[in-house]
Structure 1
């Protein structure tokens, strides 16, 4: 089991990493502004699921698999970077309309938001760096058992990410009236697109 120092260190490090601007946070704010709270939380569900996948990779030592399957991970890296560029293109050239507060969101839009969140996280260099480089510095992964992963790390990760990102969703929804015009949305979405292109370039550079 993890001691209190490790729990606090992991929580603080993860909270800071979640609050640092990146493609996931940019997409979360943009989606919350354009489609509302429910859509924002669906995208957040995808983001958290991606984090849990990388957490599992780190805990169970699957990072070492990359050394033996370098070609496969190279394909994944390029695929993730290209997907981020595709999302950036969509954000940049989106046809924005005035926001209708209270508009019902279709199930297809919610599913799309969740899948986008998952894919963005899997292709996010910041997330990869945290779980495969920073996490081993704050937690002794050799001492993490299946029980510790399931009963401590997974719930703690969900709680921290939900708490931090929910604040951004609530803030984005509260300022929707300030960003209701197509002009304001264009600036917001193009800012998110720029962050995604930067993330893709960072991934390819590494």
Structure 2
């Protein structure tokens, strides 16, 4: 699995940071996107989009589809569209206070797990303290994300738990920019050199 290989290598430039789409983002899949970058290395980058809830999909519905019990669960987490790559595959971005085989560290207090054990644990009332379930992920080929950042497509914002796990997906883009004290109306999609 290339995603696991990249994450396991431990070379992370922006891992654990938030990528915030600039107002001029031309790809409609990423307009006003906020992405937790889980891995960023010479081999590429991988992240989970945090502000795209999936209409009509809930944790309960997903548990039923996977045949996991209990339904209704003792605890729930939000279900998001994590990005356009492998939309049928699930990833739980969560606090690092819980792990299982295959859990990968994103940064000191954050982990990513891509197996059903985490879903079972949450449904039973255990598992990580906080998390979100993403179907799919955002991925970049080697050098692609670096090029997009240089072309002024993304801003990097320090992640914190309030932004990572905020249930108000609609306002997350503005709140992430506000952390940098940036008014979105003042941003330009044109980059330049001094």
TM band (smaller chain): under 0.3
More helix per residue: 1
Give the strand-richer structure, 1 or 2. Answer: 2
Q: Which has the larger radius of gyration?
A: 1
TM-score normalized by the length of structure 2: 0.26
Q: Does 1 or 2 have the higher relative contact order (CA < 8 Å, sep 6+)?
A: 1
Normalised TM-score (structure 1): 0.25
